[in-house]
Amino acid sequence: MARSERLLSLLQVLRRYRRPVRGQALAEELGVSIRTLYRDIASLQAQGAMIEGEPGVGYVMKPGFMLPPMMFRSEELDALVLGMRWVADRCDKTLSDGALSALAKIAAVLPTELRRELEESSLLVGAPLKRHAYKVSSDLLRAAVRAERKLDITYMDSSGAVSQRIVWPFALVYFDQARVLMCWCELRADFRNFRSDRILSVEEMEERYPKRRSTLLREWRKANHAASRTILPESDSIAS
- Please report the pLDDT score of residue 26 as a whole number: 94
Q: Which of 14, 19, 75, 68 is nearest to 40 (CA)?
A: 14
What are the start-end ranges of the H helices in 33-126? 34-46, 74-90, 93-109, 112-119
pLDDT at residue 98 tops 50: yes
Q: What is the pLDDT of residues 192-228, one digit of tens each?
A: 999 999 999 999 999 999 999 999 999 999 988 765 5
Q: Which of 62, 14, 17, 18 is nearest to 41 (CA)?
A: 14
Region 3-61: CATH code: 1.10.10.10
- Please report the pLDDT score of residue 181 as a whole number: 96
Strands of the sheet with 199-208, listed across from one edge:
190-195, 179-185, 162-174, 149-156, 199-208
Region 138-238: CATH code: 2.30.30
Burial class (CB in 10 A: 0-12, 13-18, 19+), 236: exposed
Q: What is the pLDDT of residues 47-96, one digit of tens each?
A: 778 899 888 889 998 876 655 555 677 888 899 999 999 999 989 899 99
pLDDT at residue 111 tops 60: yes
- Please report the pLDDT score of residue 238 as a whole number: 45
Instruction: Measure the CA–CA gap between 167 and 49, rounded to whole angstroms.
Output: 45
- Please report the pLDDT score of residue 65 as a whole number: 62
- Please report the pLDDT score of residue 229 as a whole number: 61
- Please report the pLDDT score of residue 70 as a whole number: 56
Q: What is the pLDDT of residues 134-153, one digit of tens each?
A: 889 999 999 999 999 999 99
pLDDT at residue 44 tops 80: yes
CB 62 within 8 A of CB 52: yes
DSSP lists the bridge partners of residue 53 as: 59
Q: Which of 118, 16, 147, 75 is nearest to 25 (CA)?
A: 16
- Please report the pLDDT score of residue 54 as a whole number: 83
Average pLDDT over residues 92-106: 91
